[in-house]
Amino acid sequence: MKELKPIDEGATRLKIADRILIMGCSGGGKSTLAQQIVARTDLPYISMDREFFWLPGWVKRDRAEERALIAAKVAEDRWLIDGTGPSSFDLRLPRTQLVLWVRMPRWLCVWGALSRALRWVGRSRPDMAPGCPERIDWEFLRYIWDWERKLAPKVLAGLAQHGADVPVLQLKSRGEMRQLLDLLGRPA
């Protein structure tokens, strides 16, 4: 992993990047950050949950169709993709110019998921597929709690295998996220 430090180096690269991947644990704030970056740039916003993973009624899209959609989208010249999905790193990382890894503490991710569920209860949020109303259960909370232990190693392996030369900026606090956004300037 080619980690960027400090945040101002990441902001400088972000300003010139045409293809950005934002990833991290559910509830960590990656979708909010993605939408705030899109408001400051003219990059097209792509939510993996909305555009690739889910069909109405929380039906998981067929894997072959999902990969075909991802391959077509990453072939485009400009994008900001919001979503981790290590199983498609082979498609996305070779085209990515910058990875922002939102790596918040797990308690903050649980809090984020719970507060998001309360805000969107019974409705589909903008970064989710239509017909997939917000929901939360113990399995999802356990997934968040174990994310760093179970998924972070897969992310690191995928970065090493498919994106060893892609710069990665890890954001480990809300303050670092705010600092990055401040360095980008006001929304357009």
What are the tens digits of pLDDT across the range 149-171? 999 999 999 999 999 999 999 99
pLDDT at 102: 97
pLDDT at 187: 80
HSE at residue 71, side-chain half, CA atoms within 13 A, is: 7
Correct CATH for 2-184 of 3.40.50.300, 3.30.470.20, 3.20.20.100, 1.10.287.3510: 3.40.50.300
Burial (CB < 10 A; 0-12, 13-18, 19+), residue 156, is middle
pLDDT in tens, 11-59: 999 999 999 999 999 999 999 999 999 999 999 999 999 999 999 999 9
| Alpha carbons 130 and 71: distance in angstroms, whole number | 22
pLDDT of 188 over the 80 cut: no
Strand-pair partners of 134: 121
Domain spans, the chain: 2-184
| Mean pLDDT taken over the chain | 94
pLDDT in tens, 96-113: 999 999 999 999 999 999
Upstream peptide bond of 133 is cis (omega within 30 degrees of 0) = no
pLDDT at 60: 95
- Percentage above 70 pLDDT, the chain: 99
pLDDT at 1: 73
Which among 142, 135, 139, 140 is positioned nearest to 118, based on CA atoms? 135
Amino acid residing at 72: A
pLDDT at 186: 84
Whether 24 contacts 30, CB under 8 Å = yes
- Taking the whole predicted model, whether its pTM rises above 0.85 is answered as yes
